[in-house]
Chains A and B, each alone.
Chain A
Amino acid sequence: MKYIKQVLGGDLRQYTMVVALGLLILIFNVISDGRMLTSSNFQNLLSGNAYVLVLALGMLMVIVIGQIDLSVGSVAGFAGMVMALVAKNYNVPWWVAVLIALAIGILAGAWHGFFLSQLGIPGFITTLGGMMIFRGGVIWISRSISVPAPEELKWFGAGYLPEWGPSFTGMNNSTLVLGLIGIVCFAVGQIRKYNRSKNSPVGETPLWAVVTRIALMTVLIGYFTYLFGSGRVGTSFPVPGLILLLLTIIYHIITQRTKFGRHVYAVGGNKAAAALSGVNVKRTYFLTMMNMSFLAAVAGILFVGRSTAAGPADGTSWEMDAIASVFIGGAAVSGGVGTILATIVGGMVMAVLNNGLMLMGVGADKTQVIKGFVLLAAVAFDVYNKKNGKSSIIGRIFSK
Chain B
Amino acid sequence: MIGTYSQEERERIEALASAYVLGVLDENESDFAEFEALLEAGDPLLAELLEAGFDTTIALAELAPQVNAPAHIKEALLSKISSLEMSTDRMVRYDQNKAPLPSSTVRLLRKKNRTIISISLLGGLLVCVLLAFLVIKSDKLERYSGLTKVLMRQSDSLKLSNKEFAINDSLVRCVLNMLQEENARLVTMTTTSQSKHQHVFFSPKQKMVVVMRENLQPIDSNHVYEIWAVVGNTPKPIGSFVVDPHDKEPMYTFSTDLASAEAFGISIEEKGATPSPKSEMIYIGEVPHFGKN
Say whether A and B bind each other: no
Residues of B within 8 A of A (CB): none
